[in-house]
Amino acid sequence: MKHYEAPKEDLWTGRISNKWLYLHEKVHCTLLEDIPEAQKKSIALLGYACDEGVRRNQGRIGAVKGPDAIKNNIGKMPNHLGGHIVLHDVGSITCKDGDMEAAQNELKNAVSSLLMKKQFPVVLGGGHDVAYGHYQGIKNYLDTKKKGQKIGIINFDAHFDLRKNTEQGNSGTPFYQIAKDCENEIIEFNYLCLGIRKDANDRSLFQAAKDLNVIYVMSDTFQMHFLEEINTWINAFIKNVDHVYVTIDLDGFSSAFAPGVSAASPMGFTPRIVIECLKTIMGSGKLISLDIAEMNPQYDVDGQTAKLAASLVHYVAHAISGS
């Protein structure tokens, strides 16, 4: 595949225990084409090494190196996964010659293939244009296996990412593109945004959200002391769909926690509120796939953004597996 890079075993380093105490000792580096059909719970880490969409959106480039930075930090973390849980690194989708659309299409095929093989995909970006290819992969799988089932998108983000793709798509257009695809197919567009900021979205984006019936929680409400109310909204949203796709944009976090992103701000949310919401989402049993976007090592400080992303993956992997 032109837009594919094999997994890099040298990313998976850390303390040596010889007892599988750390995730670098647990992970299997497996070519995407060789991934087996899962016979037990299995998680596949897939990179999306692309920041062309960020460049087109006039953001800070560097997220192309995000997947490797996250994987390297995951490897150093302790392994509490049961012996029956399989963890794969299946490499990365890449963007050649600025052809983001081809990379998104390759991502669609990869995600669909992983789901067909009963893997749980965790996609690591890369710009938030990852969401368009990722969603298309989920939809392609469901259209093949379970036609007519509803997908709900839950986006942890400061931004709606509902910009119109009048010329080309970019990191700010994925959910508008999905909405237009849904409109063309006469199916529901189910989209919940958590952490939206007024200082990060212009009036036209709030109008687009209104026109597309987007449900959103503003940043001043997306706080721990409103958790019960937030969970009520999440549960009501999930009740209306068959499957949930979660996307976490690291630039939604305060730069106190995530300086290494394409659009950093001190006004974002905290990791704790995201973890608590993830508990609710995963408790529904409807989570089908997840990604983390906008990891930009070029602007990271002491690797703390990569560590945050790795900690989120660590939490989700263990929660999915019941470990």
C-alpha 224/C-alpha 28 separation (Å) is: 37
- Summarised one tens digit per residue, pLDDT across range 64-108 is 999 999 999 999 999 999 989 999 999 999 999 999 999 999 999
At residue 1, the pLDDT reads 78
Q: Does residue 167 have a pLDDT over 90?
A: no
pLDDT band for position 286 (50/70/90)? Answer: very high
Alpha-carbon distances of 43 from 8, 12, 38, 117, rounded to whole Å:
17, 16, 9, 11
C-alpha 240/C-alpha 260 separation (Å) is: 35
Domains in the chain (CATH in brackets) are: 4-321 (3.40.800.10)
Closest CA to 310 of 49, 93, 72, 47: 72
Amino acid at 279: K
Spatial neighbors of 1 by CB under 8 A, at least 6 apart, are 32, 106
Looking at 7-11, 83-87, 107-111, 255-259, which range is the least confident one?
A: 83-87
Closest CA to 309 of 292, 323, 290: 292
pLDDT band for position 39 (50/70/90)? Answer: confident
128 assigned to a ligand binding site: yes
How open is the CA angle 172-201-230, to the nearest 5 degrees? 100
Q: Does residue 169 have a pLDDT over 90?
A: yes
At residue 271, the pLDDT reads 98
Structure tokens at 258: 């995530």
251 assigned to a ligand binding site: yes
pLDDT band for position 322 (50/70/90)? Answer: confident
Question: Could you give the residue ranges of the DSSP H alpha helices within 268-303?
Answer: 271-283
Give the three-class secondary structure for 163: coil
213, with CB counted inside 10 A (0-12, 13-18, 19+), is exposed
Chain Cα centroid distance, residue 180: 21
At residue 323, the pLDDT reads 62
Which residue shows structure tokens 């119109």?
Answer: 164
C-alpha 197/C-alpha 252 separation (Å) is: 9
Chain Cα centroid distance, residue 84: 25
**Across the chain, what does the average pLDDT equal?**
96
- Whether the pTM exceeds 0.85: the reply is yes
- Are the beta carbons of 296 and 66 closer than 8 angstroms? yes
C-alpha 322/C-alpha 3 separation (Å) is: 34
Chain Cα centroid distance, residue 176: 17
161 assigned to a ligand binding site: yes
Radius of gyration of the chain (CA): 18
- Summarised one tens digit per residue, pLDDT across range 269-285 is 999 999 999 999 999 99
- Are the beta carbons of 215 and 195 closer than 8 angstroms? no
Element spanning 245, H or E: strand 243-249
At residue 59, the pLDDT reads 92
Rounded to the nearest 10°, the torsion over CA 76, 117, 240, 108 is 80
Phi and psi at 164, nearest 5°, equal -75, 135
Closest CA to 309 of 125, 180, 167: 125
At residue 146, the pLDDT reads 77
pLDDT band for position 147 (50/70/90)? Answer: confident
314 assigned to a ligand binding site: no
99 assigned to a ligand binding site: no
- Summarised one tens digit per residue, pLDDT across range 184-242 is 999 999 999 999 999 999 999 999 999 999 999 999 999 999 999 999 999 999 999 99
pLDDT band for position 317 (50/70/90)? Answer: very high
51 assigned to a ligand binding site: no
Structure tokens at 199: 């200082």
